[in-house]
Amino acid sequence: MSWADAFLAIGAVTIFFAALLAIVWCIAIAAIRQRFTLKLLLVMLTAVCVLAGFQSMGREAARRQSIKSIEMQRAFYLEHRSEFNPQQYDQLTQELDADAARLGFGK
């Protein structure tokens, strides 16, 4: 991991916790005042959107990691093809193709 990646990760974690803190802060203020104002609702909506964005980014990162894993397995099978019998090799590659199709990724 490079320094740039580390700083991006620290920034992302900071934004994530700031969004969580904003939601808790809005709920606490509303509980004290016993009413929600438009500003509080807008802050909460923004924080929820930020958290939804993080969830989406996490899902996409997991998908990319799965695709990378499939590509590495395919390269390994191709490199060691002679060590498998033909039926076993075909079965393994078909399983990889099915996983890739499930992730929306072709050969």
User: pLDDT tens digits, the chain, 107 residues: what are they?
Assistant: 577 777 777 888 888 888 889 889 888 888 888 887 888 888 888 989 988 888 888 888 888 888 888 889 889 988 888 888 888 888 888 988 888 888 877 65
Please state, in angstroms and rounded to a whole number, the distance separating the CA atoms of residues 26 and 10: 24
Residue 16: enclosing H or E segment and its boundaries?
Answer: helix 3-33
Please state, in angstroms and rounded to a whole number, the distance separating the CA atoms of residues 28 and 34: 9
- Please, which residues have CB within 8 angstroms of residue 103's CB and are 6 or more apart in sequence? 63, 66, 67, 70
Largest CA distance in the chain: 73
Q: What is the per-residue pLDDT for 11?
A: 81
